[in-house]
Every structure is written in structure tokens, then in C-alpha cells.
Structure 1
């Protein structure tokens, strides 16, 4: 059976996913058979695998490990949809929508069984399992039902690597407090700690490291410098709060007057916003997450992202007057999945998707499309031939991505198809169900080129240049700054 290492955190967004991905690639590079695992994930950033959907981090970590992503890597996924409810996905398949109490009272035991079984299958097929925890491992109100942390440590007989973020402040208090609050049997499993996002003079940190080790007996195995390898974000903690504006991708050396801004409405139930990350990494492209009430005066292009609840997010945009401003906008507009549905003329059987009782909701009216919702859900990997139309004009070739959505859209008027049987496009507006569209060079470069052309700005010379592999960058962070020897992981 495989050895399991649980990468647990003192809080959310401390760098667990990056450390886990880096470990997966480091071990794979050594020739070790390694697989990722997260017993229970809560995220609206999901990916499609042949067996169903899993959280984006485990999809990424599987790629880093060099193994095909599968539902065993994330057997339980909770996708928040608002009003205290989440969609429960077990072994890749949607089970239903449940409030937290209903989940813990009626479904948690089944989720625990699914997680144990999935881990056992992975452990029988690999040498090492790199398991990622969720949030903080020290949530004492949840220790009797903490599937991703406490239960994983126990049923997987895992060593624990504790990760803490120094940028938040109070890193040693977080580490010591976490250790103090762990159940005794889990505390004994902690093999070491890693401090992430460090800037400055390491010698000034060393006295704190020494005292922490003396107090707790837990070695600090590494201090990772502040760096973003470019891996997709897992949850909305990375996004600005509702009502605030935030710009991503500004630190690239391109002056503001020579850059373009892609406005993205910060939907209340935004999902799969990782679709925007490839754009934010392009030199000269600023991705601005804006409140629905914001103007589009400084925008050069607009992307409507996915939504876990298309109807209610559409109503939120309508209440904010966003549709009127979007219809008056004269730059390129792209809608992805739920954003595509919103761009159409109407949405029917809307009560299935929204929380209200209404059957029909008006769309934003920018594409001649209607969408009808049903209880069935599409989850699949997709490979399509791209037709260069609308905001993607000039593009061609094969693109890859995935679809995860409820509802089917029908073209009812004069519009081109960007893909065979999928999407709709006019000269300035395009909608598609294809997530990861901008991961594909042809689609991304065409959209960026058209945004610059629409803004009347010359393209940066670096458009289309190759980028460092994010998996290799994550691996280098771990290999260069973490002492793996005390963890006892195999080397081949």
C-alpha cells in the first residue's frame, strides 16, 4: 500500500494546493508513482474527467503527477450555490442540493465511505498519495466530521505536513495554535511545517523558526519565497469581495496606456473563474473584476464568467442595470457557460436553476439564443475545431476544454457557430459552453488581438511567447526550498 502525506493548512489560501502540486511533480520526476487526493473539496472551480467532475486543484495535481485525472482524486465535491446550499457531487456524479445540516446528518457517512474507498483504490495502484486538506485542520467545531483533514489523516494512516502563510501575519501563532488544537492522535502525525509566501531577509525569520521548533518539537522543513507558479486558483478567496473592484495581471512592465482592460462582472455565485487566468497572464492585459453596478467606461473587452446559479446571477445583473451598459458597449464580449446562457434572449424552466418560482427569465439579449434548464447535467471533456468568428476572428485549429452545465441552448436567429453544434457569435459577441477556452493559444491570442485592435492600441511584441510550465515552477519551489528527507518519501 502507498504512503500518504497529508498537506494540511492553518487556514484557507495558505498555499496547500501549490505545495501539493509541487510535491506531485517532484516525486514524479524521481520516478515515483504518485497520485493526488482530496477527500472532500468545496469549490465551484471544477474540471471534467472521464468519470465525472472533480475540483480544479486535484485535476492540476494529477497533471503534475503525470497521471490521468479521475474521480478517485476528489471523491466528494461540494459546489456552493447560495442560500446556504451546496450541490453534492460523489464519485463525479451530482447527488442533489443540500444545506450543511442536511449534508452532515444524512449524507456525510456515505461521503466518508466514498472517500475511504477511493483512497484505497489509489493506494493500491501507487507508491505515494499526496493528499490535500481543506481550510484549517484546526476547526475544533468540525473535528468529528472533518473529512478532508482529520478523517483523511486517520483512515489513510497519513503523515501530516502543516502549511502556514506568513503574508497574513502571525505565522508562528497560527502554527502553534493549530498544533495545540489538533486531536492528540493527529498531532502525533505532524512530521513538519512549511512557511509560504515569505519576502525579505531569511535571517530575520530564523530566531522565530528556532523557538517554534523548541516549543513544539516540529521541524520547519522549508520556507517558500513569495511566488506564483501560475496554477489555477481553487476558490473565490482569491477574488475581490462583492462590491469591490480588483485588477489582476498588472505587474508585467507594460504601461497602462499600452494595455487593455477585460472587465469581468463579479457575480455573486461566480464559478470556474479560472477561465480568466490565462488572459491575466498575457502581457498588457488587465483582468478587472468589477461589481455589477460598475460602468464599463474603462473596459476594452468584457467576459461574462460561469455561474453556479445562472438565473439568480442574471437577475442580480439586471437589477444593477448591467445589461443596459453591456448592450451599449462596443468592444468584444465573450460569455462562458453560464455567461453564454445570460447573453441569450430568454431562459426557460428557470425555477430548476434559480431559487425563485418563475418559469421564464429574460436574458441580456445580445445573442439569438434560448436556454431551457432541466435536472440533467452535462459533464464532459471536449475537443473542437475552432471557427474564427466574432471576438475570436482570425483564429483556427483544434481547441480542448470541458463542459459542466445544466441546461441546453438553442440558436433561434442569425448567428455563426464558433464550434460545431456549440455556441453562437455575432461580429462583437460570442458565447460558448467551452471552459478553458483561453488556455488554448489560438483562441486566447485571437481574443487579445481583437481587444487591442478594438481599443486602437498596438499589440505587445511578446504576445504568443511561450510561458514557463507552472507544474515545473511549483516543483522548483518545493525542491529548492523544502527538505523532503525527514518525510521519508521514497526515491526511485
Structure 2
């Protein structure tokens, strides 16, 4: 197999972003490229065209590569249900839930078989596979049955480049320690080191490069400066703090409730492209302030997260905000929380069959949690009484809940679908609930919604921002940034000659 794998000395070292850059780089060099991550642990999902669920990072990397995302690009997705248990999504469909030890003991052989199938499929369809690891490849307590780092490099038989995050400190120890803890045959796969997130004068690090190469015998192929405001969707909640700076206040202030089991928070990332909008994630009621709009995002555990809001008094803060004329949007789990009642008929949300509690009671509706998850790409038209022009909108749905709405005089559907409706719009669009993830990716709707807020604040309306064009520019910007600071000829040579060298 022709490909390359990026592993990191730690989580959040920049593996996803650099893999995304190389998806674009290899595409621009004329290769047909596929991203691959064998096992992803994230509640940020991406739904493929055939209605299957994969990790969001691989969906974004497929966009950067200019290909459609498929389940073979992320065959195993782990979605945490709590601190000990996760749902296993296998080839895009819910398979089973396991606790950590149970997963290691019972799923390993199935995982190996799954990864082999995915790699074989990708090898037959693509020229180059850009493989991403997870965490660190030297988690000694886990490495005997790992499914995502050096075991995958061995299965795919690809060279490895090790990424180290200099921003967090200890970069020399992290590189040397990682390489020393690898087995000898694993170290032989590491063909280069990439120093990521560098700030300051690169010339001051030249001695550091020399030291690393002399100490490890591995070439430093690049030192990549920190890339500010790249606006490319991130993989997990570790990046929320850096992506959405609370000190960066602009004319429109949008507060996003940071739920303990938040999922698909990338639904709000389109606002990063709006020059007069700032997004801040709030954990506590005392951080709430007086925002221009509030968004309650998706969650992996609606009832557990809602009970946590109640425990800290956040539910009362939100209800008062809406009662006093505040603008609010609930997406998926956030939409469910806004209902009058939540009923776990199947026990699929709480594990307790028949569990019921009152919700925020902002929307006159009841959400019932079923046993089968709905995952689908969907599209429709904004309803005539939604408060917005009838723009076409699309998105994707991932949910166990079914919401039964009592449409009243001031309670209208949000979206007209082919044979039904989605969501709720109240008070001319001031209050919105929807199951559509990516709803704010619809440029016309997002522009209209923001202009409602601007009008309310006596600010001038703005023209719509078109995300597809902006995202394409960001992928190119990222690729050029990495190419500028890396020995690309060396990387390509390693990829092209790897199999030949091994045979020789």
C-alpha cells in the first residue's frame, strides 16, 4: 500500500490538521487520496452520503482530498456515553456498547478484521492513503491490543512521521521518550519528525533541530509555525479553548452551552467566518452574561446533560433569558432539552427503560427516545411561517429521539421535508429547534438569522458569507503553510520508495 501515517507524541499535537493538509497536498500533486483513521474516539460525527456515521475529522479530510467520505475511511468510531462506556459504531452503524476493559478483551479480533477490510478496500480505490494515529503510540498499558497506531502502520505497511507539539512544552523529552519506548521494528518505520505549533523566531530553533537529529538519528522534516485562525473543523473538545477565544468579543455575542457530553459542536464553526460574530462556550451560569443569542448544541446523553444543567441552575438562567426576549437555537440534543418532556421509552439515553422528566418547556413538544438511531443526510425548504424566506437547506441527522410537536398559532415547523416537517420556529424565528446538524452551514439561512440579530441591535445588515468557497480557500491555505515549512520532496520520496526499499 502506498501511503503515510502521522502519529503524535500526545493528543492534540496536530495530527488531524497535518493529515488534512497532506490530503490536499497529495491531491494537488495528482494523486487520488483517501484519509484513514482506523479507530476514532469522538462525539463529533460526519454522516456520509449513504447515511452512515464516521468521525468528523475523516469527513473533513475527505473534503480536503476532493473525494466523497466513506465508512472505510473510519471503520471504527467510539462515541463515549459516559466516563467508562462507549458506543461502537462499526462501518457507520451502531454495533454495541462496551466498557473499556470489555472492549479490549472482546472486540480486538473483530477490530483487526474490520481494519483489514477497510484498508484493502481503500488500497483498491485510491493511489495514496493518508493515515492518522491517535494519542501517543507508546501507551504502554494499552499497546498489547491497540488498534490505531503502530499496529495499523504495520497492517498498512506505511512509513510514519512523528508530530510533536512544541507549544505545550517538553518537546525534546516527548520526542526522545516516544522513540525510545517504541520497539526496534517500530522505530524503523519512523522516517521523520515534525515540530508543530512553533511560535517565534525559527532560526532560534536550529540548534534544537541538530540536537534532535543527532540524539535520535531521525530527520526533522519540518518546523511548522502556529497557524492562527485556520477555521478548519476540529476533531474533539480539546480544541474548543483555542478555537473560540472568549477574549475575542465582537459586535454579535453568541453563547454556546458547553455540555458535559457535547457532540458535534462543530455545528457552530461556520460563525468563525463571520467577521462581526464571536462565539464563546460557557460552562457555568455565572459566565452567561447577556448574549445576543444562545445555542444549545448536540449531546451524546441528552437527559444526563440536562440534569447537569439543572444541578448548576443553568436551566433557570436559560428559561429566564428566553422569557425576556432572548434568541435561542437548540440543535439535536439541545432541541430535545427545549421540549416540555423527555421520555426514555427504550432506555437508550439513560439505560433506564421508561425514565421521564420535564424539560425546559420552551417548545410545546415531547421527545421519546427509541432503540434505533436515525442517521441520514436530509434536505428541505424553510417553512413559509418559519420567519425566514423559503431557502433550501440541508444537513444530517444523528439521533435516537423522536420529537412530537404540538404546532399551535405561534409554533410553526422550521423545515418542510418531502413528506413531513423538521423542527420548530417560534416568534418569527427567535426560538428554533432542529435535528439538522450543519444547519448553520446553509449560507442563506445563517445570513438571514444573523441579520435578524443585527436588526434587533440596530446594526447594518450584511451580505451572506459563502462557506464552500471560504473552506476551499482554508484547505489551500493550510496546505501552502505546511508545504512552506516542510521538506516535501523528502516526504514524497519516502512515500514513493517505501515498498521498494523494504523489498530491497
Give yes or no for TM over 0.5. yes
Deviation at 1:436, TM superposition (A): 0.7
State the distance in 2 between where 1:248 and 1:437 align.
Answer: 23
What is the alpha-carbon distance in structure 2 between the residues aligned to residue 312 and residue 318 of structure 1?
A: 10
Deviations 1:316-358 (A, max 9, x none): 1122222222222122100000001111111112532124565
2:41 match: 42
Give the Cα separation in 2 of the matches to 1:248 and 1:463.
23
Deviations 1:134-172 (A, max 9, x none): 111121212112211021111011100111111111212
Kindly state the Cα deviation for residue 82 of structure 1 after the two structures are TM-superposed.
Answer: 0.8
Q: Does 1:338 align with 2:333?
A: yes
Give 1:33-112 correspondences, 5 Å limit. 33-49=32-48, 50=50, 52-112=52-112
1:464 to 1:95, Cα distance in 2 relative to 1, 3 A: same
Q: Paired residue for 2:265, among 270, 273, 277?
A: 273
1:279–1:287 Cα contact (<8 Å) kept? yes
Closer/same/farther in 2, CA of residues 233 and 372 from structure 1, 3 Å limit:
same
Aligned residue number for residue 417 of structure 1: 413
Matched, 1:397 2:400: no
For structure 1, the residue ranges without an aligned partner over 5 or more in a row are none
Equivalent residues of 1:312, 1:355 under 8 A apart: no
Q: Secondary structure at the match of 2:25?
A: helix
Where 2:81 maps in the other structure, the secondary structure is: strand
Task: Give distance in 1, aligned partners of 2:58 and 2:384.
Answer: 32
State which of 447, 450, 455 in structure 2 corresponds to 1:448.
Answer: 450
Give, in whole Å, the separation in 2 of the partners of 1:317 and 1:490: 53
1:25-424, aligned counterparts within 5 Å?
25-49=24-48, 50=50, 52-227=52-227, 228-239=229-240, 248=245, 251=248, 256=249, 259-294=251-286, 296-329=288-321, 330-349=325-344, 351-356=347-352, 359-387=355-383, 393-414=387-408, 415-420=411-416, 421-424=421-424
Residues 105-159 of structure 1: CA distance to partner in whole angstroms, max 9, x if unpaired?
Answer: 1112101210111011101211110000011112121211221102111101110
Specify which of 430, 433, 440 is matched with residue 431 of structure 1: 433
Residues 413 and 397 of structure 1: is their aligned pair in 2 closer, same or farther, counting only changes over 3 Å? Answer: closer
Deviations 1:225-276 (A, max 9, x none): 11142111111112359xxxx953755xxxx4x6121111111111000111
**What's the secondary structure of 1:144's corresponding residue?**
helix
The farther-off stretch of 409-418 and 5-14 is 409-418
Q: When the two structures are aligned, how many residues end up with a matched partner?
A: 478
Q: Is the 8 A contact 1:395 1:442 kept in 2?
A: no
TM-score (norm 1): 0.92
Q: Distance in 2 between matches of 1:299 and 1:232?
A: 24
Q: In 2 relative to 1, CA 43–294 (structure 1 residues): closer, same or farther, beyond 3 Å?
A: same
Closer/same/farther in 2, CA of residues 107 and 8 from structure 1, 3 Å limit: same
For structure 2, list consecutive stretches of 5 or more residues without a partner in the other structure: 498-504
Q: Distance in 1 between matches of 2:230 and 2:241?
A: 20
Q: Which residue number corresponds to residue 22 of structure 2? A: 23
3-state SS of paired residue (1:163): strand
Contact kept? 1:306, 1:336, Cα under 8 Å: yes
Residues 64-111 of structure 1 show CA distances to partners (whole Å, capped at 9, x for unaligned) of: 111110000000010011141101011111112210111111112101
Q: Is the 8 A contact 1:39 1:148 kept in 2?
A: yes
**Does the residue aligned with 1:26 lie in a helix, a strand or coil?**
helix
Structure 2 CA distance for aligned equivalents of residues 388 and 478 of structure 1: 47
Larger RCO: Structure 1 or Structure 2 (Cα < 8 Å, ≥ 6 residues apart)? 1
1:399 aligned counterpart, secondary structure? strand
TM-score, L = length of structure 2: 0.90
Whether the 8 Å CA contact 1:90–1:111 is kept in 2: the answer is: no
Q: Does 1:471 align with 2:468?
A: no
Whether contact under 8 Å (1:283, 1:462) holds in the other structure is: no
Aligned in 2, Cα 1:375/1:235: closer, same or farther, shift over 3 Å?
same
